[in-house]
Amino acid sequence: MQHETLALPMPLTQADNFLSTPSEAVTQALSRVEGDIMVLGAGGKMGLHICSMIRRADEAAGRPNRVIAVSRFSSMHGRDLFDQQGITTIACDLEDAQALQALPSSPNIIYMAGAKFGTGDQPDLLKRMNEDLPRKVAQRFAGARCLVFSTGCVYAMVSPESQGSKETDRTDSPGAYAKSCLVREEAFASAAQNSGSKVALIRLNYSTEFRYGVLVDIAQKVFNQDPIDLSMGWVNVIWQRDAVDQILQALPLANTEPFVLNITGESILKVQDLAQQFGLLFDKEPQFTNQEKETCWLNNAAKSHQLFGRPSASLNDMIKWTTAWLQSGSTTFGKPTGFDNREGKF
């Protein structure tokens, strides 16, 4: 993709189009996947781009299969944005047992449903959405190919010198949220063992785009002169188009022995350095609080980069785009990532 010609700001529809442009590699990967693809929990921050990239890749390859977006469509991306792109939509509360059973069968499932923010004081919500619901969905679509969104926060915190946690490292994360995500993984792994489902578990950490992400969080704090908490002193980020691209390439790799994959950028980034870069671009001095701890949630995505290549968007690209978007006064989602939360409660 020709990132250097990107003109900002741009209309929201054009931004979504840019973030869902499929690479030739995605088109080829999805050509190996037979049948419709159903995306459960498609109404969140990433679902539109997942569905749209599948649809556009199918069109490029001349595949007649449907991409079906399932969501309550009560927030974030509205149903009409999916309909306008030829994506089949089904409004459904997945927690409704009858509605779940009434969904059409599909040989391919992308599972994006879950709860994170606001669950710190609602353990019942966390259990319902991240533990009970995945078990029901895994049973409902037993035998299907299932790509399951998880989180890079399932690992123990590590030092930046470690180069980040690999897929084979222990999962020993603090906090109820990460533990609930492990239960989600286990639900689909059990379906693979007992029902022959082919499973890919995607541990994402962190996707960023114009309107949301760690870079937006840091940039907004610099711009508004709000203090940046350095206790989570290092991060991984990946541009959302690259994240979607690599995640979809993992779909045909799903297996009865669950295929586990970290998705993130190739560098471990120091939060203070990122803030200083935004400070130069905004001509503002960043404000900081607290000291860097020795460990952070950091992932090593060497496996995905060996399989699919390095992400196309550089850190410089991401910083320039984020800066231009915010300086123009363009809208954001207004949803901080909570990346600086060390307790794992959101």
Look at residue 248 and give its three-state secondary structure. helix
Q: Considering only CA atoms, which of 75, 30, 74 is closest in space to residue 52?
A: 30
Number of domains the chain contains: 1
Question: What pLDDT score was predicted for residue 79?
Answer: 92
User: Which is more confident, 273 or 175?
Assistant: 273
Q: Is the pLDDT reported for residue 121 higher than 70?
A: no
Q: How many residues does the chain have?
A: 346
Of 151, 204, 159, 211, give the one whose Cα is nearest residue 11.
Answer: 211
Return the pLDDT at 76.
Answer: 60
Does the residue 276 lie in any domain? Answer: no
Instruction: Name the token pair of 104.
Output: 């059409």
Kindly report the average pLDDT of the chain as a whole number.
Answer: 93
CATH code: domain of residue 15? 3.40.50.720
345 is a domain residue: no
Nearest to 137, CA basis, from 185, 68, 72: 185
What percent of the residues of the chain are helix, what percent strand, and what percent coil, each to the nearest 5?
A: 40, 15, 40
In which residue are the tokens 């927690």 written?
95
The model's pLDDT over 9-26, given as tens digits with 9 standing for 90+, comes to 899 999 999 999 999 999
- Predicted local confidence at residue 346, as pLDDT: 45
Q: Which helix (H) or strand (E) holds 235?
A: strand 234-235
Residue of 8 and 320 predicted with greater confidence:
320
Residue 18 lies in a domain: yes
DSSP state of 130: I
In the predicted model, what is the mean pLDDT of residues 32-45? Answer: 96
| Average pLDDT of the segment spanning 40-59 | 97
pLDDT of res. 74? 79
Residue-wise pLDDT tens digits, 54-100: 999 999 999 989 999 999 997 666 899 999 999 999 999 999 999 99
Structural domain range at position 129: 8-210+236-268+295-311
What is the layout of strands, in order, in the sheet containing 259-263? 88-91, 67-71, 37-40, 108-111, 145-151, 198-204, 259-263
Task: Give the pLDDT of residue 326.
Answer: 96
pLDDT in tens, 243-262: 999 999 999 999 999 999 99
Convert the pLDDT of each residue in 332-346 to its tens digit. Answer: 999 999 888 877 564
Does any domain span residue 65? yes
Dihedral angle, C-alpha 88, 94, 100, 104, nearest 10 ° = 20
In a domain, 331, yes or no: no
Contact between 202 and 149 under an 8 Å Cβ cutoff? The reply is yes
What pLDDT score was predicted for residue 123? 74
pLDDT number for residue 8:
86
pLDDT surpassing 80 at residue 4? no
Q: Is the pLDDT of residue 155 over 80?
A: yes
Dist. CA 146–CA 39, nearest whole Å: 10
Q: Is 178 part of a structural domain of the chain?
A: yes
If phi over 0 gives left and psi between -120 and 50 gives alpha, with beta otherwise, what is residue 148? beta
Strands 145-151 and 198-204, by their bridges, are parallel
Q: Is residue 155 part of a domain?
A: yes
Q: Are 20 and 52 within 8 A, CB to CB?
A: yes
Q: What is the share, in percent, of the chain residues with pLDDT greater than 70?
A: 95
Q: Could you give the CA distance from residue 36 to residue 15 in angstroms, rounded to a whole number?
A: 26
**Residue 145 three-state SS:** strand
189-248 per-position pLDDT tens digit: 999 999 999 999 999 999 999 999 999 999 999 999 999 999 999 999 999 999 999 999
Nearest-angstrom CA–CA distance, 124 and 134: 15
Distances (CA, A) of 44 to 72, 189, 234: 10, 24, 26
| Pair 188, 254: CB distance under 8 Å | no
The pLDDT of residue 341 is 82
The region of weakest confidence among 40-49, 114-123, 266-275 is: 114-123
Rounded average pLDDT over 111-131:
78
Percent of the chain with pLDDT over 90: 86
* pLDDT of 53 higher than 90: yes
Note whether residue 217 is domain-resident.
no
CA–CA dist 152, 175 (Å, integer): 13
